[in-house]
Structure 1
Amino acid sequence: MSARVPIGIVMNGVTGRMGYRQHLVRSLLAIREAGGLPLHDGSKLWPELVLVGRSEAKLRDVASRHGLTDYTTDLGAALARPDVQIYFDAQVTSEREKAIGLAIEAGKHIYTEKPLATTLSGAIELARAADTAGVKHGVVQDKLFLPGLRKLQRLISGGFFGRILSVRGEFGYWVFEGDWQAAQRPSWNYRAADGGGIVVDMFPHWHYVLEQLFSPVRTVTAHVTTHIPRRWDEQGDAYEATADDAAYGIFELEGGVVAQINSSWAVRVNRDELVEFQVDGTEGSAVAGLRGCRIQHRSTTPKPVWNPDLPLTERFRDQWQEVPDNEEFDNGFKAQWEMFLRHVAEDAPYTWDLWAGARGVQLAELGLQSAREGRRLEVPELDR
């Protein structure tokens, strides 16, 4: 039997939807159910979990559901434990910066959901502090591990597109207001004071998708709005939505690629998946979603002619070819957890550190500034 090597992980925010479902159940508990994470020396890394949150009752419920016993509402006490090596944060954004700062001071390696902080200055301060402390650090960038985007990456690596010209992204769905049907997202998402807003939430995603798949973002132009100004919270009480629920962005990338991405919680879905990216190049095009990816090569591109006087006889969607899986795709959150754990345990390479998280916050901040000022803004390099 392989030797089991324990690694202590403080998990803050596991009573929330994302922290519970993706990070606890589908990632770390899934690793435990598989017998641990295999390391190069033949041993298996075994996550020992310490659940942290504000509600002892909620923590007790989560722990009892999964046979866990180690939970506390005292973050300081959890971080003081010598058997804990990693701090993970999936709290609401407004609480994240302070908690990560405490974890860095305690000498823990940092792995966190995005956005890293509510401001760029706060994100930079955390990244610098982590570097100074010599701890390893990473930010969740789950979209890169989606099967659809993995297939898109395969096409890019294989030179399918020729010279890439543009990227067009559509993300979003209708989030119910909460009066006659319960909202699918928590009410804090729509309050600016609590760190809500679709720009703060989604622009960090778009940053790493564009940067990692294509090239760095050099300018941003954004229009931001709150389409639904009145919503109802979890208790059924009406409140004013002070955070943006839709953003329409244009991003110019290094090398001349132009990306347009619409993000909205006030749009009804008329596409195959909740997020889709169309990439057009001189040799071919692709449309990638969460799981699927369809392509049209230059040699098979039809030659439509605009004529509004005649009925349409072509079914354009049928003229695209589905990209095969060609491999097994694991849960993206779990795959990234495994990479970060190996980074901590074996010093394996890891790209997406707190500086990557800070660049995502930077793009969100500049997007909001662009919308306020009505102008195109350059994205400068961060000063480390």
Structure 2
Amino acid sequence: MKVHTIGIIMNGVTGRMGTNQHLVRSILAIRQQGGVTLPNGDIIMPDPILVGRQEHKVKALAEKHGVTRWSTDLDACLADPANQVYFDSQTTVHRAESIKKAIAAGKDIYCEKPTDTSLEGSLELARLAKQAGVKNGVVQDKLFLPGLLKLKRLIDSGFFGKILSVRMEFGYWVFEGDWQPGQRPSWNYRKEDGGGIIVDMFAHWRYVLDNLFGNVKAISCLGMTHIPERVDEQGERYTATADDAAYATFLLEGDIVVQANSSWAVRVDRDDLLTIQVDGTEGSAVAGLRDCKVQHRVNTPKPVWNPDIENPFAFTEQWVDVPANQIFDNGFKVQWELFLKHLVIDTPFPWDLLEGAKGTQMSDLGLQSWKERQWVDVPDLKL
């Protein structure tokens, strides 16, 4: 048995997502389980070094979780041949510059999305990585959620017949910060800092739609800034310059119509913060983050519109849960394991920087559609 030790520069993991999902529940969890086992019995063992701009934060994070390597000097980390991978979960406006440095240093790249604030920038990163011959990947975590994996199982089985439409509802009320602190950092609501729900969420919707239902061909989008003023982490009021809600329609190949509402100004009256309803000729399903329920054609009730009587149907009781039939691991961790295997034994990893650029393209086109108040076609992307 051989142990393949992979040094990983983890930049920007002092933030909530970087700490919880990437450091604790992915890399440290992989180390605690004894690494990633390869088919021949070899082990891949990630060896993280935490990097951040603020010494007190990165040092405290490392000490809390027993990580021996940490630094505030990214250039020194990139110069160290023991570090093979550069991972980035900084805010979007800082990401591209650091990834370019890492590519120039010959590091393999794994990063959060959006990969840049513009399509041109995201495509440049994909081109640079290809020219340098470094392996690269982008986090596309929602593909590995239990609810979406169950939904994918239904699609692959032909359960739906011909898929007709998809309806996606995402969001929750993010407090304004005055009488309760907001659940999201204030930069999310400043366009100049890379904020906005279109930039944040359309990258997710692109890979979910492309991978589950079919390539996105056109988009119509209306963005809104429903809450014009918020209070930041220092208690100071500021003007929200970015969109906090987006109402979009996507047209997919096969004429599948997708309606997607994304909002940080909505109160939740549904089973989960994200629900995806799929309707087909033979059946329907509603998936959340972890659960999925179905209603087949033969079990579909026959309601008749009659507002003069009480509704005789208990609609929500007429659906059947899709069983798990397996143990679902953390989605971020699952994709990390796949990327590590890709590095060592070159197993397929289709979610690269070009796929990340498609997410940025979707955000750009959503903003364009909103500005022009019209449908916008989605052209194919090539390097």
- The answer to whether the aligner puts 1:288 opposite 2:292 as a matched pair is no
Q: Deviations over 1:266-313 (max 9, x none)?
A: 000000100000000000000000001010000010000000111112
CA distance in 1 between counterparts of 2:180 and 2:233 reads 11
* Structure 1, gaps ≥5 residues long: none
Shift of 1:69: 1.9
Shift of 1:120: 0.2
CA distance in 1 between counterparts of 2:14 and 2:228 reads 28
Q: Which moved more, 1:309-318 or 1:157-166?
A: 309-318
Aligned to 2:371: 372
CA distance in 2 between counterparts of 1:273 and 1:352 reads 26
Shift of 1:147: 0.3
CA distance in 1 between counterparts of 2:248 and 2:73 reads 41
Q: Deviations over 1:148-193 (max 9, x none)?
A: 0000000000000000000000000000000000000000100111
CA distance in 1 between counterparts of 2:172 and 2:232 reads 18
Shift of 1:40: 2.4
Shift of 1:5: 2.0
Aligned to 2:48: 49
CA distance in 2 between counterparts of 1:81 and 1:225 reads 46
* Paired residue secondary structure (2:326): coil
The residue type paired with residue 169 of structure 2 is E
Instruction: Calculate the TM-score normalised by the size of structure 2.
Output: 0.99
Aligned to 1:105: 104
The residue type paired with residue 171 of structure 1 is F
- The answer to whether the aligner puts 1:317 opposite 2:316 as a matched pair is yes
Shift of 1:118: 0.2
* Paired residue secondary structure (1:255): helix
Shift of 1:44: 1.0
The residue type paired with residue 289 of structure 2 is L
* Paired residue secondary structure (2:255): coil
CA distance in 1 between counterparts of 2:299 and 2:68 reads 59
The residue type paired with residue 336 of structure 2 is W
Shift of 1:383: 3.0
The residue type paired with residue 86 of structure 1 is V
- The answer to whether the aligner puts 1:257 opposite 2:256 as a matched pair is yes
* Paired residue secondary structure (2:122): helix
- The answer to whether the aligner puts 1:359 opposite 2:358 as a matched pair is yes
Shift of 1:42: 1.2
CA distance in 2 between counterparts of 1:146 and 1:67 reads 28
Kindly report the root-mean-square deviation, in angstroms, between the aligned alpha carbons of the 2 structures: 0.6
Identity score, percent: 61
CA distance in 2 between counterparts of 1:127 and 1:3 reads 32
The residue type paired with residue 4 of structure 1 is V
* Structure 2, gaps ≥5 residues long: none
CA distance in 2 between counterparts of 1:382 and 1:333 reads 26
Instruction: Calculate the TM-score normalised by the size of structure 1.
Output: 0.99
Aligned to 2:3: 4
* Paired residue secondary structure (2:96): helix
The residue type paired with residue 149 of structure 1 is L
Aligned to 2:206: 207
CA distance in 1 between counterparts of 2:92 and 2:236 reads 23
Aligned to 2:26: 27
Shift of 1:43: 1.6
Instruction: Give runs of aligned pairs for residues 1-384 of structure 1, distance below 5 A.
Output: 2-384=1-383
The residue type paired with residue 178 of structure 2 is D
Runs of 4+ in 1 over 4 A off after TM superposition: none
Shift of 1:33: 0.3
CA distance in 1 between counterparts of 2:348 and 2:2 reads 23
Shift of 1:34: 0.3
CA distance in 1 between counterparts of 2:38 and 2:88 reads 25
Shift of 1:3: 3.5
The residue type paired with residue 62 of structure 1 is L
CA distance in 2 between counterparts of 1:240 and 1:74 reads 34
Q: Deviations over 1:352-371 (max 9, x none)?
A: 00000000100100000000
The residue type paired with residue 138 of structure 1 is G
CA distance in 1 between counterparts of 2:160 and 2:337 reads 31
Q: Deviations over 1:224-273 (max 9, x none)?
A: 01000100011111001111000000000011100010000000000010
Q: Which moved more, 1:106-115 or 1:68-77?
A: 68-77
Shift of 1:381: 0.8
The residue type paired with residue 269 of structure 2 is N
* Paired residue secondary structure (1:370): helix
CA distance in 2 between counterparts of 1:36 and 1:277 reads 34
Shift of 1:66: 1.2
Shift of 1:73: 1.0
